[in-house]
Amino acid sequence: MWVLFAVLDSSAAMSNDGRLADQAAVARMARGDHSALAELYDRNARMVFSLAQRILQNRADAEDVVQEVFAQVWAQAGRYETSRGAVAAWMLMMARSRAIDRLRSRTSRPETLSEAGVAEGVPDATTRQDLQLLSAEQVECLRSAMRELPEAQRTALELAYYEGLTHAEIAGRLSEPLGTVKTRIRQAVIKLRESLIR
């Protein structure tokens, strides 16, 4: 959860030079420069993969999402507007949408034995990719910030970002008014960003 907000808050996740380099790379991609795509990939693929992996809990699917996101960035480079936010945030929103689409398609079809996981229950010994994005100090800061969130805010946020539910769906699941859910999510994001800036 906290990794998403760390990256979306571009002031905490990336230097101004990195943001400018990403914007320049997208502009070059819009002119057909393939090397710009490679540069953007080198700087951001791990971040995109980490978010997809966190949502999907499946390495192969997460790798597919990374490829889809960078193909989409290439195709839409000419339409990117710097005034709408950082390139990293733009790519993460694509990754989130594609990962949630995969998650939903997975739940709409029955799992086969191979998918259901012959290896289900075997612990993953690798270091989580989302933890590799941040320094130990940043990770602890974000974990602390998440723990400090009221339970209702944390739950609403997790349902929105990791299950891909709309505000209305969250309100239905939690039996809460729609306005209350929107307020909780907004307040949680503000608190997490403030923690990152500090």
Contacts with 190 (C-beta within 8 Å, 6 or more apart), sequence order: none
Query: In the chain, pLDDT over 90 holds for what percent of residues?
Result: 27
Alpha-carbon distance of 25 to 28, in angstroms, equals 5
The length of the chain is 198
At 53-108, the pLDDT tens digits run 888 889 999 999 999 999 999 999 999 988 878 898 889 889 999 998 888 887 76
d(CA 198, CA 196): 5
Dihedral Cα 91, 1, 8, 12, nearest 10 deg: -130
In this prediction the pTM is 0.56
135-198, CATH topology level = Arc Repressor Mutant, subunit A (1.10.10)
Q: Where are the domain boundaries for CATH 1.10.1740.10 in the chain?
A: 1-108
Q: How far apart are CA 101 and CA 153, in angstroms?
A: 24
Task: Give span(s): CATH 1.10.10.10, the chain.
Answer: 135-198
CA 188 to chain centre: 16
Tokens at 53, concatenated: 């992996």
Q: Would you state the pLDDT for residue 28?
A: 94
E strand residue ranges, 31-159: none
Of the listed ranges 7-11, 180-184, 187-191, the one predicted with least confidence: 7-11
What CATH code is assigned to 1-108?
A: 1.10.1740.10
Per-residue pLDDT tens digits for 1-35: 434 444 444 334 456 778 889 999 999 999 999 99
